[in-house]
């Protein structure tokens, strides 16, 4: 099940608009997963778009209502695989609801919504439900407890399946296998093992070498482990996964890699992600970007035909996020002064060299601004 497009008459700030999405096999990774990244200036309805998709499927499937949900024109939501649209979607989903007693399988698609959450409370859980639910909004109140239970079962299961005779070596292999799932993020806090004194509760080792439990991780680590593992538990196949602001509380270096981690979960899935993160946008191919723009109060979806003119963070913030001045005031002033020297062909003067030295203390010689200045100088010399 993958969503090809949705048309909205009116839902919150979104009015009279159509949004199209990439579906597998378009822009897929080695697992057949496709990522759509929705970005844009504040107030363009990125979160509302995810909510509209979720409600347009969840409400009719739950209530058998086949009319409009709010002002969403549900007849115009189109699922690419299988090729159905309108009310047929809900009969399709309800067919799986009738099998709700069954465990999830690759033949059972799901619609998952990971909503944004700044922090998570911890409460232990005795087990994780395997009952099949075709439409799920992840319960943030249980996300850390579920993750802890999953980690414990992951380690114990691999230990039981191992043919290695040494119990300690079996445990090390299982822990390494788990940590490898997060290797792209370069997390300094890693799973260390299970504490037999605490009923095999997972224990992590942080950057300082301290042993900590999942509820003692930093907010960013809770976000990363909790939300990623919540999807690993579901093991989705042929499914639609909505993720709102995956960057919350994450270090910029983790933000650059987080979609790589998500996109390796399950097979043949369609991810639709709403983000404010320049790092996520910069690490996404332009073909996978959907840019929401606002002009004269009307919000529209644009699909870039080429990358932004620069892949540095300032270019992303300026061209996609609509931030007009992303530079510190002192850097902005240094750039203004150096640009004036170049314009007057005085870049070799002592004053210009001093300004350039100060600039290079604050930005790379390969920054968009410095490349632009070199281009101007070269073009002048070719005349």
From CA 305, how far away is CA 291, in angstroms rounded? 11
Please indicate, yes or no, whether residues 247 and 306 belong to a single structural domain of this protein.
Answer: yes
**Residue 324 within a domain:** no
* Cβ neighbours of 164 (radius 10 Å): 13
Ordered strands of the 84-85 beta sheet:
14-20, 2-11, 78-81, 84-85
Q: How far is CA 84 from CA 20, 81, 116, 158, 272, in A?
A: 15, 7, 30, 40, 19
Please indicate, yes or no, whether residues 305 and 336 belong to a single structural domain of this protein.
Answer: no
Tell me the pLDDT tens digit for each residue of 33-65: 999 999 988 889 999 999 999 988 887 666 655
What is the domain extent for residue 235?
2-319
Quick check: 3 and 80 in contact, CB under 8 A?
Answer: yes
Q: What angle do CA 60, 62, 65 make, to 5 degrees?
A: 35
Q: Give the domain-ending residue among 296, 319, 342.
A: 319
Please indicate, yes or no, whether residues 147 and 206 belong to a single structural domain of this protein.
Answer: yes
Q: Give the domain-ending residue among 284, 301, 319.
A: 319
pTM of the prediction? 0.79
The helix/strand/coil state of 42 is coil
Confidence (pLDDT) at 371:
81
Q: Give the domain-ending residue among 293, 319, 345.
A: 319
Please indicate, yes or no, whether residues 155 and 241 belong to a single structural domain of this protein.
Answer: yes
Please indicate, yes or no, whether residues 148 and 24 belong to a single structural domain of this protein.
Answer: yes
Please indicate, yes or no, whether residues 349 and 256 belong to a single structural domain of this protein.
Answer: no
Please indicate, yes or no, whether residues 297 and 370 belong to a single structural domain of this protein.
Answer: no
Give residue 108's pLDDT band: very low, low, confident or very high (50, 70, 90).
confident
Please indicate, yes or no, whether residues 304 and 351 belong to a single structural domain of this protein.
Answer: no
Please indicate, yes or no, whether residues 123 and 30 belong to a single structural domain of this protein.
Answer: yes
Give residue 71's pLDDT band: very low, low, confident or very high (50, 70, 90).
low
Confidence (pLDDT) at 241:
97
Burial class of 128 by CB neighbour count within 10 A (0 to 12, 13 to 18, 19+): middle
From CA 215, how far away is CA 261, in angstroms rounded? 22
Please indicate, yes or no, whether residues 249 and 352 belong to a single structural domain of this protein.
Answer: no
Please indicate, yes or no, whether residues 305 and 371 belong to a single structural domain of this protein.
Answer: no
Tell me the pLDDT tens digit for each residue of 153-191: 999 999 999 999 999 999 999 999 999 999 888 788 999
Which CATH number belongs to the domain containing residue 177 in this structure? Answer: 3.40.50
Please indicate, yes or no, whether residues 126 and 254 belong to a single structural domain of this protein.
Answer: yes
Q: What is the number of structural domains in the chain?
A: 2
Tell me the pLDDT tens digit for each residue of 288-312: 999 999 888 899 999 987 665 444 5
**CA torsion through residues 328, 330, 335, 340, sign:** positive
């Amino acid at each position: 099940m993958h969503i090809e497009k949705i048309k909205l008459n009116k839902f919150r700030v979104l009015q009279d608009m159509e949004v199209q999405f990439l579906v597998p096999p378009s822009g897929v990774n080695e697992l057949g997963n496709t990522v759509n990244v929705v970005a844009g200036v504040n107030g363009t309805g990125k979160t509302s778009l995810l909510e509209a998709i979720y409600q347009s499927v969840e409400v009719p499937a739950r209530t058998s209502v086949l009319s409009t949900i709010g002002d969403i024109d549900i007849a115009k939501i189109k699922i690419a695989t299988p090729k159905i649209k309108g009310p047929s979607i809900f009969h399709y989903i309800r067919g799986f609801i009738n099998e709700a007693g069954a465990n999830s399988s690759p033949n059972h698609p799901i619609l998952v919504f990971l909503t944004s959450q700044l922090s998570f409370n911890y409460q232990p859980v005795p087990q994780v439900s395997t009952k099949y639910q075709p439409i799920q909004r992840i319960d943030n109140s249980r996300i850390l407890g579920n993750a802890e239970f999953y980690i414990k079962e992951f380690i114990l299961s691999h230990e039981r399946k191992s043919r290695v005779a040494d119990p300690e070596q079996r445990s090390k292999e299982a822990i390494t296998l788990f940590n490898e799932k997060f290797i792209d993020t370069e997390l300094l806090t890693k799973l260390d093992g299970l504490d037999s004194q605490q009923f095999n509760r997972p224990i992590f080792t942080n950057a300082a070498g301290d042993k900590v439990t999942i509820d003692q991780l930093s907010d960013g680590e809770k976000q990363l482990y909790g939300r990623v593992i919540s999807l690993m538990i579901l093991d989705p196949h042929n499914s639609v996964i909505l993720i709102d602001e995956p960057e919350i509380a994450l270090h910029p270096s983790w933000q650059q890699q987080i979609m790589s981690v998500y996109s390796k979960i399950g097979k043949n899935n369609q991810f639709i992600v709403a983000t404010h993160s320049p790092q996520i946008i910069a690490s996404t191919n332009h073909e996978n970007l959907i840019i929401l723009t606002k002009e004269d109060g009307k919000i529209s979806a644009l699909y870039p035909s080429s990358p932004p003119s620069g892949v540095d963070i300032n270019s992303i913030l300026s061209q996609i996020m609509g931030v007009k001045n992303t530079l510190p005031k002192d850097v902005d002033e240094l750039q203004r002064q150096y640009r004036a020297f170049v314009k007057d062909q005085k870049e070799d003067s002592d004053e210009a060299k001093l300004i350039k030295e100060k600039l290079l203390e604050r930005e790379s010689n390969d920054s968009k601004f410095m490349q632009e200045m070199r281009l101007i100088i070269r073009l002048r010399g070719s005349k």
